Amino acid sequence: GRALLVLLLSATVSLLGGLIFGYELGIISGALLQLQIDFHLSCSKQEVLVSALLIGALLASLAGGILIDHYGRRRAILVSSLVLLAGSLILILTRSFTGLVIGRMTVGFSISISSMACCIYVSEMVAAHQRGLLVSLYEAGITLGILLSYALNYVFADVDEGWRYMFGLAIAPAAMQFLSILFLPVNPIKLSSWDSDCQKGLIELQDTENRAAAKQEPYKEKHYSFLDLFRTRDNMRRRTLVGLGLVLFQQFTGQPNVLGYASKIFHSVGFQSNSSAILASVGLGLIKVVATLVAMAFADKAGRRVLLMAGCVVMAISVTTIGLTSRVASLAMPRDCKAATDLNASHSLTQHPLIPISSQPAVSPTPPALGAGKSQAVPGFAATRSLTKVFASTQSRELFPSSSLIHKRGLVGQAKEGRVGSTDPPFGGDPWAEHTVLNWIMLLSMMAFVSAFSVGFGPMTWLVLSEIYPAGIRGRAFAFCNSFNWAANLLISLSFLDLIDAIGLSWVFLLYGLIGVMAVTFIYLFVPETKGQSLEEIDQQFSRKR
């Protein structure tokens, strides 16, 4: 009975952690539309506000590993919940732009710590045959959180100071997560008291075979320094190679930028602006939820390697198809940034209530007048989580253009009244609107790409990262790889339009396809299969330098 309770609470913590992460990534798209009017935000201030969460997350990924390793995973989750509460209260009560930035940085710090600690804690808490399911549940929570944020963006779009409610509602899942973790055992892998904590948590949930094996060959506690990640001791250098390779390929396969064209592709098959915005965000989000559920179901059966390789193959084929078809059906560039600093801009509150603002301008080529939304926020931990970088996407994340590029990469572009009031089909005069078959091929390729990412790179990257490092350095190693994930998402997003200018859109997508093939090769050569193995067995497998 106690084991079942711990299992259910672990699942709750994982799901709520992902839900909070996704919610905070997605909610800015609706809140920023009201904030730009209430605080008269210029483009540069919008840029700073959107980037504040990223800055906080980067700081957390640099410092959070020490907190997780030295003070325990459970305590790190408790602290992250309290920090999120503080950040949300700052956002609710603030009357200044500075307060908004500080609040979002605080929230970014919190969700980054939580994302790392949740995955590690749950992976250590449950049995080997349940680890894939429970850790992947975090990725499902991210997508559900993003969908929830879009729904609440819609609900509070016309409410006076509705952004305060949007930011404040994050307190509810944070409080639930805080209460859930209080009833869970102390961190099952803690350097100062391995045996007692293992008996309280990990070993109790293992089956009899694993328990017997653990008694025969007890796990030896080891201490590691951060520099050991780059040394040959226990084959740590190869583990670091595997971790960095997965997070970098997760981003460099172009997932954040491909999703930036989702709304445009929906337009091309005949959907009008508002319908396109809804379908591009919620529709693809639902596809991601289903695909993530598939990954959860097969992570412990098919295995991590199989899902990663299958996902990469489908992603490479899909993005190559998009690249080839876009050579005929060309896609347009984004509009310039125009800050809404007067009341006349308030018409956009009702024109595009669901996802009116692209909080990732560098990757969103769809003009807001035509239903541009935060379609990139629908990746995973990466991302996905994202940086998602989101970030996510990931895990999937919110980024901003450099100041020198503001003139061509807008955070907020207000629609011209003539365009908003027009009843003509979108892109009706464009040559690419005539290529109906090719447009549908692009749409199907986009759906396949999203599904493949959500089955492979989205959840599996972070599952593998939570497994391959020894307990003594797992937090710092995870945080180290996570910082590269955020940085890579930033780089790939900011370089997107420059790449298009240099080599053309179709060649950019073809380049992503080539990187996808390289990712398959990397996974085949370097990433081991970890399904069904205890964390100790995985550690021993790596230590044998095979």
Fold of 1-185: Growth Hormone; Chain: A; (1.20.1250)
Report pLDDT for 169. Answer: 95
| Residue 473 identity | I
- Identify the top-confidence range among 71-75, 159-163, 311-315: 311-315
CB atoms within 10 A of CB 485: 37
Give mean pLDDT, residues 239-256. 91
Query: What pLDDT score does 441 carry?
Result: 86
CA distances from 429 to 199, 426, 434 (A): 69, 8, 9
Q: Which of 410, 361, 359, 460 is nearest to 146 (CA)?
A: 359
- What's residue 387's pLDDT? 31
Residue 311 scores a pLDDT above 90: yes
Average pLDDT over residues 96-105: 95
User: Is 76 in contact with 474 (CB distance < 8 Å)?
Assistant: no
Question: Model confidence at 332, in pLDDT bands (50, 70, 90)?
Answer: low
Q: What is the mean pLDDT of the chain?
A: 74
Q: Confidence band (pLDDT; 50, 70, 90) for 225? A: confident
CB contact set of 164 (below 8 Å; sequence gap of 6+): 91, 92
Q: What is the pLDDT of residues 339-350, one digit of tens each?
A: 554 433 333 333
Mean pLDDT of 292-315: 91
Q: What is the pLDDT of residue 276?
A: 61
What the block records as the tokens of 97 is 């732009």
Dump pLDDT digits (tens) for 417-442.
343 333 444 444 455 456 678 878 88
Q: Does this chain's domain 1-185 share its CATH topology with 228-331+434-545?
A: yes
Tens of pLDDT along 269-293? 666 555 566 666 677 778 888 998 8
Residue 107, both tokens: 């929230």
Does 379 have pLDDT greater than 50?
no
pLDDT tens digits along 124-148: 888 888 888 888 889 889 989 988 9
Confidence of residue 197 (pLDDT cuts 50, 70, 90): very low
Q: What integer pLDDT is reported at residue 390 of this predicted model? A: 33
Contact 142, 397 (CB under 8 A): no
Q: Is it the case that residue 336 has pLDDT exceeding 90?
A: no
Q: To which residue do tokens 């999120």 refer?
A: 84
What pLDDT, on a 0 to 100 scale, did the predictor assign at position 401? 35
Q: Residue 48, class by beta-carbon neighbours within 10 Å (0-12 exposed, 13-18 middle, 19+ buried)?
A: middle
The sign one gets for the Cα dihedral 343, 347, 350, 354 is negative
Per DSSP, the three-state class of 199 is helix
In tens, the pLDDT along 483-533 reads: 998 888 778 877 777 788 888 888 888 999 999 999 999 999 999 888 888
324 vs 336: CA distance, rounded Å:
27
Query: For the ranges 22-31, 102-111, 359-368, which has the lowest average pLDDT?
Result: 359-368
> b/e for 232-242, b at 16 or more Cβ within 10 A?
eebbbebbbeb
Q: Which of 205-214, 348-357, 414-423 has the highest mean pLDDT?
A: 205-214
56 close to 391: Cβ distance less than 8 angstroms: no
pLDDT at 85: 95
Number of C-beta neighbours around residue 148 at 10 A: 18
DSSP state of 41: -
pLDDT at residue number 214: 43
Task: Say what the pLDDT of residue 273 is.
Answer: 58
What pLDDT score was predicted for residue 377? 33
What percent of the chain shows pLDDT beyond 70? 70
Domain 228-331+434-545 annotated CATH 1.20.1250.20: yes
Q: How many helices (H) and strands (E) does the chain have?
A: 24, 0
Domains in the chain: boundaries: 1-185, 228-331+434-545
Select the more confidently predicted residue: 394 or 458: 458
Per 3-state DSSP, the chain is made up of helix, strand and coil in percentages (nearest 5) of 75, 0, 25
**What is the tens place of the pLDDT at every residue in 259-271?**
766 766 777 666 6
Q: How confident is the model at residue 396 (pLDDT cuts 50, 70, 90)?
A: very low
Q: What is the pLDDT of residue 344?
A: 39
Lowest-pLDDT range, 139-143, 299-303, 328-332?
328-332
Question: What confidence category does residue 23 fall into, taking pLDDT thresholds of 50, 70 and 90?
Answer: very high
Where residue 201 falls among pLDDT bands split at 50, 70, 90? Answer: very low
- Residue 104's pLDDT band, with cuts at 50, 70 and 90, is very high
